Amino acid sequence: MTSNRTILIAGVTGKQGGAVARALEGAGFNLRGLTRKPDSEPAAALTHQGVAIVKGDLDDEASLRRALAGAWGVFGVQNSGEAGVEREEAQGKRLATLAREAGVEHYVYTSVGSAHKQTGVPHFDNKWRIEETVRGLGFPSHVILRPVFFMENLLAPFSLQGSTLAWALGATTKLQMIAVDDIGWFGARAFTDAAALNGREIDLAGDVRSMAESAEILTETLGRPITFARTPIEQVRQYSTEMGLMLEWFENVGYSADITGLEREFGRPLTKLPDWARLNARPDGLGNERTQGGIA
């Protein structure tokens, strides 16, 4: 049955879209990947894995209509770090609306942890408004995934600076995290178990660690001392008011996914930070090719 079903994966050369494509490999679906750069190396690699790459832009309605033609399912994701809050919201609503018009039967939208809790963080609250659009369009079935902080962010240049792990958080502040490959696994389940998961809104996290603990784990994995240093929140605000708001929310409220409940319901242990680090943090100081990128 799945062999006749095509899934359009937005952001297929990015972290979440790429993880979903990998997790769906061999599941029997026809995979179609949306990218602005079909000639890029990541796009070429996906082509070799059997993904049909199509050129499209989330700001270009005509290109989206072409990419959506004949699709049974869609994995929708946008990048606020690249697009900004208002444009990301417009992109998310545009893709969902055009998918419904194109007759897409199953829509999976990846939002952000706690989007439903009125966090006051602009790039969280805009995803809630996209969620509202998805719910209101009346797809035959849909699933909303809400991943928390990506473990991959720990290796990004803005985070790991030489021998310092720098964040504007208290050393002992606990932060829920998830490996991008786990997001991909849940994204794939949202399609393979579409009927059973219809209407679900699932916060996704696999571990909870402080930045001091994270530095200790990276020290062991990288084989060199990594020290946590707290960046003054004022310094973050000078760079980005929005990032400052998010980090203050991390400090004062934080994510609240039910990690134990997820593992119990889905019968799968989720990736813990030490295991993720052993697979992704390399002693030469470079991350796995899938770890680079901004904050979720």
Stretch 210-231: mean pLDDT: 97
Domain 2-150+178-204 class in CATH: alpha beta
Domain ranges (residues) in the chain: 2-150+178-204
Cα 153 to Cα 20: distance, rounded to the nearest angstrom: 18
- Residue 263, pLDDT > 80, answer yes
- Residue 296, pLDDT > 60, answer no
Measured CA distances, 58 to 16, 118, 190, 192 (Å): 16, 26, 22, 25
Element (H, E) at 259: helix 259-266
Q: Which residue has the higher pLDDT, 44 or 271?
A: 271
* pLDDT per residue as tens digits for the range 3-16: 689 999 999 999 99
With DSSP H G I counted as helix, E B as strand and the rest as coil, what are the percentages for the chain, rounded to 5?
45, 20, 35
pTM: 0.94
- Contacts of residue 236, Cβ cutoff 8 Å, sequence gap at least 6: 168, 243, 244, 247
* pLDDT per residue as tens digits for the range 131-161: 999 999 999 999 999 999 999 999 999 999 9
